[in-house]
Amino acid sequence: MAAETLFRRITDYANRADPYPFYAELREHGVARQDNGSYLVGTYHEIAALLHDPRISSDRRKRTVPDDAIIEAPGIPVAFIGLDDPEHERLRNIAMRSFGPPHSASRIDAMHDEITAIATELIDALQGRDRIDLVDDFAYPLPVTVICRLLGVPRQDESRFRAWSEAVIAGVDPTPDSDPAERRRAAVAARMAMGRYLSELADNRRGKSSDDMLSAFVNDPGPDGAFTRPELTSTAVLLLIAGHETTVNLIANGMLTFLRHPEAMKLLRRAPELMPRAVEELLRYEPPVQMLPQRTALTDVEVAGVTVPKGAPLILVLASGSRDPRRFHDPDRFDPTRRDNQHFGFGSGVHICFGAPLARIEAQIALTELTRRLEDPRLLQDPPPYRRSPILRGPRHLPLEIAGIRA
Ligand code: HEM
């Protein structure tokens, strides 16, 4: 079939449950130019090279073609995920100071017990039920509670920022089910509302000592200096959305995959020490971030024999690269014991996921507790209904029948 329409077919909601045959077709084409002038890349080695190539920008404003997904909200500059070095590096370093090594090396490990307690509480609350929705009852509330604690955002405001986060994501969805102008207006309004909300919270922390990240941002500037107020706002918005929209899909895709592979589920119940490796395999086999839609060539760049012209959008289909048979043995097989597994689940290069250590332990704890405690779980709908986005892909709901809850 025509390579020029592959992106339309990949992003078509009708194909959300199984986009993998289209990725196989994409890999056969190498690089596929789309009829809107963008270039799709789906092979492992090409994606890896592009993610480490300084001629490839993460800044959509560098494009020479019209771009519907640039959402510019007054007072909220582009966050560091959409910037290039050195600006990207400066802002990422300031944010990292209160999140990970070297300055906050034990932050994530220290959350282990807290995450286990949150998972335990959510599962305890399922006692007496024979039907559950794994998304609403567990996979969504767990990471949201964790990111709220980490940032210092009151959990009870969740319904407000859930709506904002959904509107921002809908603003960059390449398969709109509503008028694009209206979606953009809603996304800008949501970004501004979220920004106002988070910067007011941060202002209230000034001069008060507390161990959350918003407090650290305003009270503990490091050697790279402090964020300006607009930088703080856009970073906080980025972290809240990233913490909201991704780990939920890893947990839900994880349970769905385990239930489709009962022998894997049995193995993991017997040998929970294999869970870290199983989570890496899930990040390869059913990744929550399927593609990176925001790269742009800063100059003419040759990719697999095709010249991608300066200013052209590049769409890197990570989920396709992670199933490339030229890189992975038997790539369409889910193998929770796989060893050679340098997947693209968290990207690669300078923008590699900031939250990866947190997402990893959240998913490991969540899936360990679920496999251990849910008695005889069965899928009620396969495939389940999916969320709209082809970029952040995962079930909207995951209805299960269970025989009970183990202690
Ligand atoms: C399973 C869960 C997650 C997955 C699959 C995921 C995936 C990714 C991917 C693929 C990227 C690369 C983007 C690019 O190269 O353009 C990324 C970047 C990022 N992620 Fe995650 N992420 C997850 C969880 C989180 C969490 C929990 C946080 C926040 C605590 C987070 C914060 C970020 C940030 C701030 C960036 C931008 C990094 C940069 O531009 O330097 N992520 N993530």
Pocket residues: Cβ below 6 A from ligand 1: 58, 80-81, 92, 238-239, 242-243, 246-247, 250, 288-289, 292, 345-347, 351, 353-355, 358-359
Q: Is residue 155 classed exposed, middle or buried when 0-12, 13-18 and 19+ CB atoms within 10 A define those classes?
A: exposed
pTM as predicted: 0.96
Of 212-226, 242-256, 333-347, give the lowest mean pLDDT range.
Answer: 212-226
Q: Do residues 127 and 373 make contact, with C-beta atoms less than 8 angstroms apart?
A: no
Distance from CA of residue 204 to its chain's centroid?
Answer: 29
Tell me the pLDDT tens digit for each residue of 30-52: 899 998 899 999 999 999 999 99
Q: Do residues 152 and 205 make contact, with C-beta atoms less than 8 angstroms apart?
A: yes
Distance 254 CA to ligand 1 centre (A): 18
pLDDT value of residue 176? 63
Give the integer Cα–Cα distance in Å for 28 and 44: 12
Distance 232 CA to ligand 1 centre (A): 17
pLDDT of 1 higher than 60: no
Q: Which atom of ligand 1 is nearest to the CA of 318?
A: 10
Q: Which amino acid is at 275?
A: M
pLDDT of 72 higher than 80: no
Pocket probe mutation, ligand 1, options 153, 353, 361, 392, max atoms within 8 Å of Cβ: 353
Nearest C-alpha to atom 27 of ligand 1 is from which residue? Answer: 243
Q: Which atom of ligand 1 is nearest to the CA of 295?
A: 16
Distance 186 CA to ligand 1 centre (A): 23
CA angle at 20 for the pair 18 and 22, rounded to the nearest 5°: 105
Q: Do residues 395 and 252 make contact, with C-beta atoms less than 8 angstroms apart?
A: yes
CA atoms within a 13 Å half-sphere pointing along the CA-CB vector of 249 = 24
Distance 404 CA to ligand 1 centre (A): 35
Nearest C-alpha to atom 26 of ligand 1 is from which residue? Answer: 355
Q: Which atom of ligand 1 is nearest to the CA of 143?
A: 27
Q: Do residues 316 and 51 make contact, with C-beta atoms less than 8 angstroms apart?
A: yes
The 3-state secondary structure of the chain reads CCHHHHHHHHHCHHHCCCCHHHHHHHHHHCEEECCCCCEEECCHHHHHHHHCCCCEECCHHHCCCCCCCCCCECCECCCHHHCCCCHHHHHHHHHHCCCCCCCCCCCCHHHHHHHHHHHHHHHHCCCCCCEEEHHHHHHCHHHHHHHHHHHCCCHHHHHHHHHHHHHHHHHCCCCCCCCHHHHHHHHHHHHHHHHHHHHHHHHHHCCCCCCCHHHHHHHCCECCECCCHHHHHHHHHHHHHHHHHCHHHHHHHHHHHHHHCHHHHHHHHHCHHHHHHHHHHHHHHCCCECCEEEEEECCCEEECCEEECCCCEEEECHHHHCCCCCCCCCCCCCCCCCCCCCCCCCCCHHHCCCCHHHHHHHHHHHHHHHHHHEECCEECCCCCCECCCCCECCECCCEEECCEECC
Nearest C-alpha to atom 33 of ligand 1 is from which residue? Answer: 354
pLDDT of 282 higher than 90: yes
Nearest C-alpha to atom 34 of ligand 1 is from which residue? Answer: 354
Distance 86 CA to ligand 1 centre (A): 19
Question: Does the CA dihedral 170-175-181-182 come out positive or negative?
Answer: negative
Q: Count CB-CB contacts under 10 A for residue 31.
A: 20
Tell me the pLDDT tens digit for each residue of 125-164: 999 999 999 999 999 999 999 999 999 999 999 888 889 9
Of 127-131, 159-163, 201-205, 313-317, give the lowest mean pLDDT range.
Answer: 159-163
Distance 380 CA to ligand 1 centre (A): 31
Of 66-75, 195-204, 336-345, give the lowest mean pLDDT range.
Answer: 66-75
Q: Do residues 282 and 346 make contact, with C-beta atoms less than 8 angstroms apart?
A: no
Give the integer Cα–Cα distance in Å for 158 and 24: 39
Percent of the chain with pLDDT over 90: 81
Distance 106 CA to ligand 1 centre (A): 19
pLDDT value of residue 194? 94
Tell me the pLDDT tens digit for each residue of 355-403: 999 999 999 999 999 999 999 999 999 999 999 999 999 999 999 999 9
Nearest C-alpha to atom 15 of ligand 1 is from which residue? Answer: 351
Nearest C-alpha to atom 41 of ligand 1 is from which residue? Answer: 351
Q: Which atom of ligand 1 is nearest to the CA of 238?
A: 35
Give the integer Cα–Cα distance in Å for 344 and 363: 17
Of 42-46, 149-153, 184-188, 337-341, give the lowest mean pLDDT range.
Answer: 184-188
CA atoms within a 13 Å half-sphere pointing along the CA-CB vector of 140 = 17
Tell me the pLDDT tens digit for each residue of 5-36: 899 999 999 999 999 999 999 999 989 999 88
CA atoms within a 13 Å half-sphere pointing along the CA-CB vector of 243 = 25
Q: Of 338, 84, 362, which is closest to residue 246 (Cα–Cα)? A: 362
